[in-house]
Amino acid sequence: MNSVKDKKVIDWQVESLRLVLFRAKPIETVIPLWETLTGEKPEKVDSQPRANIILEVGTFVLGSLSHISDPLRINWTLSPSQEQHQQTTSLPTLGSLFETKSQFIKMMNDWLSSDSVPETNRIALGSVSIIVNNNRASAYKQLSELLHHVTIDIENSTDFFYQINRPIQSTVEPDLMLNRLSKWNAVRSMGFGLLVGEKPEVIQDTKDYVATRLELDINTHQSNKKIFSKEKLIPLLQELSKLGDQISTEGDK
């Protein structure tokens, strides 16, 4: 019998990935970062000088990469590009969670090694992943196998949602606690597609798509006031990533 611990069995497809860096001190003027990371110009820039916010978006390698900076944090998010949306009539994704996240982490490591990274005392890594199922019952059955402390009435329940945080001590910074927040549910979506050509046309797909959904937010605890050394940022990100992988493959234990 196959185990849920086997990555080949749990074929998570990732909808989005996110890295958030919290500034140790508020900044007076935010700066563009998209070109610093990618070496290219973003496709869209929205600057709000009064609010001290900048949004930069562009398609880059894996999908649509967005950067948002405000006085308190820097947020990088990877989500499906317009082209990736057009290539499917079901739920658009970036592809395999583990493969895509590995590339995203590498890209974020490059940024964390740069001079544009401010002093920080908190970092967070988030993801939203799905597994398309045949129906609600099969999605609930999968959730039941992944949630080791929860009993689900597969046939006679709807609108299931489960959220839990299981804090754990960091191995990179021994005095640091890490939050392992996970949210589990099943989602339903009506498919559609966009045909691109001389006459673009939206095609409605009458099939319902049901998916098991997992949202992860793995982050350093908000009580930490100590500024992380530059040398610890990449190891910390790797630790957050591994903790997320463990939940994705083994479920909530």
Q: CA 241 to CA 236: how far, in whole Å?
A: 9
**Above 80 in pLDDT, residue 225?**
yes
Tell me if 241 is assigned to some domain: yes
**Is residue 34 within a helix (H) or strand (E), and if so which, with residue range?**
helix 34-38
Q: Which SS3 state, helix, strand or coil, does residue 108 take?
A: helix
How many CB atoms within 10 Å of residue 45? 14
Residue 124 lies in a domain: yes
Q: What is the mean pLDDT of residues 6-21?
A: 84
Choose the weakest-confidence range: 101-105, 158-162, 208-212: 208-212
Characterize the bridge pairing of strands 53-60 and 168-169.
Answer: unpaired
Give the pLDDT score at 8: 45
pLDDT band at residue 9 using 50, 70 and 90 as cut-offs: low
pLDDT in tens, 88-99: 657 899 999 999
Number of helical H runs and strand E runs in the chain: 5, 10
Residue 70 lies inside a defined structural domain of this protein? no
What's the confidence (pLDDT) of residue 50? 95
In a domain, residue 113? The reply is yes
Residue 65 lies in a domain: no
Does residue 39 fall inside a structural domain?
no
Tell me how many domains the chain contains.
1
Q: Name the pLDDT band for 207 (thresholds 50, 70, 90).
A: low
pLDDT confidence of residue 82 = 82
Is residue 133, in this structure, part of any structural domain at all? yes
Q: What domain range includes position 150?
A: 13-22+75-95+103-248
pTM score of the predicted model: 0.89
Mean pLDDT over residues 138-149, rounded? 97
Percent of the chain with pLDDT over 70: 87
User: Residue 190: pLDDT band by 50, 70, 90 thresholds?
Assistant: low
pLDDT (0 to 100) of residue 18: 99
Residue 45 is assigned to a structural domain of this protein: no
What's the CA gap between 123 and 235, in Å, rounded?
12
**DSSP class of 199:** S
CA distances from 32 to 16, 41, 114, 128, 166 (A): 22, 10, 14, 26, 35
